[in-house]
Amino acid sequence: MFKLLRRIGRYITAAMTGKFNEVADPKIQLEQAIMEAQDQHRRLTEQAANVIANQKQTEMRLNRAMEQLQTVNASARRAVLMADESSKKGEQAKSIEYTRAAEAFAQKLIATSSRPRLPTRPSRPCSRTPPPCRRSWPSARSSCPSSTRPRCRSR
């Protein structure tokens, strides 16, 4: 019975669409199509601008992180060299001080290089919704794998 009602609904929709297309003014349809195309163009332009802005931001973040990494690396190298020079001169206290500084820089270097730089999730939820669950039992909502699916990343 439900299938019959659905088929009747589709038939009526198709018939009404055909009748509408017969009596519709082509000039108005053309204007509507132009407005839709302009709106779609505007949305695509905004999306492209957002993508470019995100890329620039990520590049700037990466460049800053690389500069920081190079600075810490150079400082650690300098501290090791100074510790080596002071131990050759026999200045034990300065050698220990420089060695501790080198260790501190090495720890900072490890922390800086192991930190993830890029986000792993989209910044806003995806507008697309997952397809509904096709399981037939009543508890399908709670045990459906589609409800536990991660958000899409197609942006």
Look at residue 22 in the predicted model and tell me its pLDDT. Answer: 81
**Using an 8 Å Cβ cutoff, are 130 and 149 in contact?**
yes
The pTM of this model reads: 0.48
Q: Where are the domains of the chain?
A: 61-116
**Using an 8 Å Cβ cutoff, are 133 and 144 in contact?**
yes
Q: Which residue has the higher pLDDT, 100 or 109?
A: 100
Using the CB atoms, write b or e for 10-37: b if 16+ within 10 Å.
eeeeeeeeeeeeeeeeeeeeeeeeeeee
Look at residue 144 in the predicted model and tell me its pLDDT. Answer: 45
CA 38/CA 42 separation, integer angstroms: 6
Q: Which residue has the higher pLDDT, 116 or 153?
A: 116
